[in-house]
């Protein structure tokens, strides 16, 4: 007797029940119901394992994403620190600071205020 194993309607395997001995065997209704129940439990177990594996992958991806966001925030914070330091340096040298002119000069690759 063969019972299909399905997860989400997709066939993922077959559970085979075989007789032993030389006498041909016909499985009665109770045996068929029991075999079907065992197949359902086994398919549920397989599905749970697949879900746990996917969940683990998602958790790893989420941790990686969080780490990358922290790194980007750190770099942006450092870049703003450098800009503020350059503006303070310019101010301490007695130069006026026009933020638009300052950013334009910085984006052109040279510093003049």
User: What are the helix (H) ranges across 1-113?
Assistant: 29-92, 99-107
Say whether pLDDT at 21 is over 60. Answer: yes
Domain boundaries, the chain: 2-107
Q: Among 49, 51, 44, which residue's Cα sits nearest to residue 7?
A: 44
Write phi, then psi, for 9 (nearest 5 degrees): 80, -5
User: How much is the average pLDDT of 1-15?
Assistant: 88
**pLDDT digit string, tens, across residues 26-69:** 889 999 999 999 999 999 999 999 999 999 999 999 999 999 99
pLDDT surpasses 50 at 76: yes
Tell me how far apart the alpha carbons of residues 51 and 41 are, in angstroms, rounded to a whole number. 15
């Amino acid at each position: 007797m063969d019972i299909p194993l399905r997860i989400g309607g997709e066939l993922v395997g077959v559970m085979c029940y075989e007789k032993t001995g030389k006498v041909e065997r016909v499985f009665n209704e109770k045996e068929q119901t029991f075999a079907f129940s065992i197949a359902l439990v086994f398919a549920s177990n397989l599905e749970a394992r697949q879900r746990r594996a996917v969940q683990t992958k998602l958790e790893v991806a989420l941790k990686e994403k969080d780490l990358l966001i922290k790194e980007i925030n750190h770099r942006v914070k450092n870049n703003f620190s450098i800009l503020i330091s350059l503006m303070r340096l310019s101010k301490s040298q007695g130069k006026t600071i026009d933020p638009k002119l300052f950013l334009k000069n910085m984006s052109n690759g040279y510093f003049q205020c």
